[in-house]
């Protein structure tokens, strides 16, 4: 689902030659989004919560890796937001006229508070949409698997363990100690 979410949100508009900001870029959706945006010809800006979370994003295709929004000084055309909260409101201010935000996740514990009139802009409309469509994934999954098979997309698995360690995996994801995805192995039942 992380790959499908990244793929579908990037398909919302043309990204070739555009500036794409991905917040929460070190997570599961973010790492796919960085790779897919780079494959689509975008200038990719990967935003992470701390310098420790930045590892490997340039190798995946990020042209810039920033902590929060520090250093993003030019407008962006598309924002894939995995963070929400105050960072979402600040990212909105970076959006170029005609640009769009795809709100995918909400890692923040805080609300997004927009200053009065900050959602209004003169010129082409800026948009903000939510995303969470899990229907008819077959064709998109085939696209992702073709990229993986061709060596153009890495699933970025950072943790793997048996199903019995599901609690540990969930806690590591919640604590943001995993860069990418966690995989739980389910062993077939044995006959007694």
pTM attached to this predicted model: 0.89
* 91-113 tens-digit pLDDT: 999 999 999 999 998 989 999 99
- Report how far apart the first and last C-alpha atoms of the chain are (Å, whole number): 35
Instruction: Look up residue 173 and give its two tokens.
Output: 């994801």
* 9-25 tens-digit pLDDT: 999 999 999 999 999 99
With a cut of 80, say whether residue 66 has pLDDT above it. Answer: yes
Mean pLDDT, rounded, of the chain: 93
Strands (E), the chain: 19-23, 43-48, 64-67, 76-81, 95-103, 127-130, 157-162, 181-185
CA 104: distance to chain centroid? 8
Classify residue 180 by its DSSP letter. B
CATH (residue range 2-130):
3.40.50.720
Distance (Å, whole) CA 34 – CA 2: 12
Q: What are phi and psi of 13, to 5 degrees?
A: -160, 165
- pLDDT at residue 187, as a whole number: 87
Higher pLDDT, 142 or 173: 142
- Residue-range domain boundaries for the chain: 2-130, 156-192
């Amino acid at each position: 689902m992380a790959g499908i979410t990244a793929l579908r949100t990037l398909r919302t508009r043309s990204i070739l030659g555009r500036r794409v900001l991905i917040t929460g870029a070190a997570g599961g959706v973010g790492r796919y989004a960085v790779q897919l945006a780079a494959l689509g010809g975008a200038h990719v800006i990967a935003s992470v919560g701390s310098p420790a979370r930045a590892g490997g994003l340039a190798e995946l295709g990020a042209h810039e890796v920033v902590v929060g929004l520090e250093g993003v000084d030019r407008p962006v055309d598309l924002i894939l937001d995995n963070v929400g909260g105050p960072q979402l409101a600040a990212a909105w201010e970076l959006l170029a006229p005609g640009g769009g935000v795809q709100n995918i996740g909400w890692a923040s514990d805080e609300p997004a508070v927009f200053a009065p009139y900050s959602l209004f802009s003169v010129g082409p409309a800026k948009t903000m949409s939510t995303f969470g469509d899990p229907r008819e994934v077959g064709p998109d999954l085939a696209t992702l698997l073709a990229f993986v098979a061709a060596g153009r997309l890495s699933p970025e698995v950072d943790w793997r363990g048996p199903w019995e360690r599901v609690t540990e995996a969930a806690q590591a994801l919640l604590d943001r100690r995993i860069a990418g995805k966690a995989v739980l192995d389910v062993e077939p039942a044995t006959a007694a």
